[in-house]
Amino acid sequence: MKSLSIIASVLLIVSSVMAQEGATVPVTNTGGASTYSCDPNTCKIENNCRCASVNAPGGLSPADTPQFVTVTYDDSVQEALMKTALSMVNVTNPNGCPGHGTWFVSMEYTDFSLVQQWYAAGNEVADHTFSHVGTPSAQEISSVREMLNAYAGIPVSKIQGFRAPFLNYTKDTLNIVGQQQFVYDSSSSAVTDDVYWPYTLDNGMANDCWTGICAAGQVKLPGLWEIPMYSVLNTANVPQLMDVYLAGTATETSQWSQAAFDKHYNGNRQPFGIYVHPTHLSTYAGTPDPKEKFDAVIKLIKDISAKPNVWFVTNQQLLQWMKNPVKASELGAQDYMQCKQPVIAKEICNGLDDDHNGAIDDGLVNSCNFGTTSMKTCFNCPATAPSLSSPVPASSAQNGTAGYRYPLGDGCDTTWWDPIGNTCLCTSSDCQVKSMAVPKSNTNTTDSTSDASSQDSNGSNGSNGSNGASGLVSHFASTAIIAVLFAGLSQIL
């Protein structure tokens, strides 16, 4: 008998969560796995349908399959957390482009100017509800997209993913996610027999069946992808999901994680995930220093990124590949794997250091103060603090007056939009872009398990087509870590 245990935090969390998420449960799926059936002859990718399977799509052999690694982050975006998050995708993919990750953002305590930087660097931003509640209303989910669009300038169409707070996803929540036309959910877990590649919910859920979610009549959402969260087994074979580094010593958790990675890498190459709450790996005055755990996680990341055909990608990049799987040797040339930044000579408030003076958006970010709370944004400050019932209140500045910031223009991507000048600096396909690709220095050509030929692919192609992807921003204001708002400490999942 194995059990599912999500080691969450040294801190108190809602006891019902422990009861639910920490309970010992059988892995053999009496909850309905046996009822999942899917016919690959009718469920075809041309119709945005894919059956749950442990085998790679497109009939690719493991040797031809890229090993994807997804690093994901949950909860609010703040300065110290962002620094931690960036250091966890500070790797170079085989095509010379930087690794990227996915942040499931909740709105409270979030710095929207940092969200914009995260996105501008080529990373993904996804929805984790407004106020981090276990049973979210439709408004809890939709307000996140409105706010990320209004205050971080992210096109709504680029906010495609959802993760349930406390991973407490239900049929009702998934139905809302489907109604709001998200591309994917990533709240479920996969342990041993249910380590499926991402699949669509046309035929219901196929993993995590112990919750009963797989039973007939539960979920049927054609076209909505499920990206399972892949767990790591500890020495006692107990699956660990998020924040594995909290479940043992740094040495132990490195060993468990390395073994789990090897199982994927030497097996069918299902994606491997590293799922974190950056708070636990960030250093704060007055709390125990997690540096040893942090260093161990970084070492794991560097070690696995040095192996042939290992790619650190966003969930959106992973799904792009799922929809059109190509051999590992061809991945580096795909549009969605390029890394380009716009060439803009003057600083605009777009999340990038356009004038290369070492500071992002310097002097252009708005600080909005609402008395007890505050937020930062390249866009207009709302006249009152955003709330669940009014996530994007009217702005304090008026259109046409000095200081007004213009919302992201239709069809413009974030990095090209000047909110002060009210202009999109790229409206055609031949805008000047600069590739951020660098030669990969630690290329390991002794891959015994794959053809390794992706090492030759050239990501630094001067071709255009701005995909929004761009280089990893490595600049940080080196100010002392400011006291982070911690009212949300119970909100750790």
Ligand X SMILES: *[C@@H]1O[C@H](CO)[C@@H](O)[C@H](O)[C@H]1NC(C)=O
Please tell me what DSSP assigns to residue 415: G
Q: Shortest CA distance to 168 belongs to which of 493, 491, 492?
A: 493
One of 108, 406, 423, 451 touching ligand X (CB under 6 A): 406
Distance, CA of 79 to CA of 279 (rounded, Å): 11
Shortest distance, position 89 Cβ to ligand X, whole Å: 9
Distance, CA of 184 to CA of 176 (rounded, Å): 12
Tell me: does residue 147 bind ligand X (CB under 6 A): no
Nearer to Zn ion, 77 or 493 (CB): 493
Shortest distance, position 468 Cβ to Zn ion, whole Å: 25
One of 137, 396, 460, 467 touching ligand X (CB under 6 A): 460
Strands 124-127, 310-312: parallel, antiparallel or unpaired by DSSP?
Answer: unpaired
Q: Of 83-91, 240-248, 285-293, 369-377, which segment contacts ligand X by CB under 6 A?
A: 83-91
Both structure tokens of 456: 């030759």
Distance, CA of 379 to CA of 401 (rounded, Å): 14
Contacts to ligand X from residues 192-211, by CB under 6 A: none
Sign of the alpha-carbon dihedral angle for 278, 73, 136, 370: positive
Tell me: does residue 243 bind Zn ion (CB under 5 A): no
Nearer to ligand X, 117 or 457 (CB): 457
Tell me: does residue 430 bind ligand X (CB under 6 A): yes
Question: Would you tell me how many other CB atoms lie within 10 Å of the CB of residue 167?
Answer: 23
Q: What is the distance of C-alpha 363 from the center of its chain?
A: 28
Contacts to ligand X from residues 464-483, by CB under 6 A: 464, 474
Shortest distance, position 366 Cβ to ligand X, whole Å: 16
Question: Would you tell me how many other CB atoms lie within 10 Å of the CB of residue 369?
Answer: 10
For residue 283, the one-letter residue type is: T
Distance, CA of 82 to CA of 73 (rounded, Å): 10
Shortest distance, position 132 Cβ to Zn ion, whole Å: 6
Burial label for 63, CB within 10 Å (0-12, 13-18, 19+), is middle
333 touches, from ligand X, Zn ion, none (C-beta below 5 to 8 Å by class): ligand X
Taking CB under 6 A as the rule, which mask of x and - marks residues 297-316 in contact with ligand X? ---------xx---------
Contacts to Zn ion from residues 47-106, by CB under 5 A: 74-75
Nearer to ligand X, 130 or 199 (CB): 130
Question: Would you tell me how many other CB atoms lie within 10 Å of the CB of residue 18?
Answer: 14
Q: Which residues bind Zn ion (CB under 5 A)?
A: 74-75, 165, 493
Q: Which residues bind ligand X (CB under 6 A)?
A: 14, 16-17, 86-87, 90, 134-135, 166, 168, 170, 306-307, 333, 399-400, 406-407, 429-430, 444, 446-448, 457-458, 460-464, 474
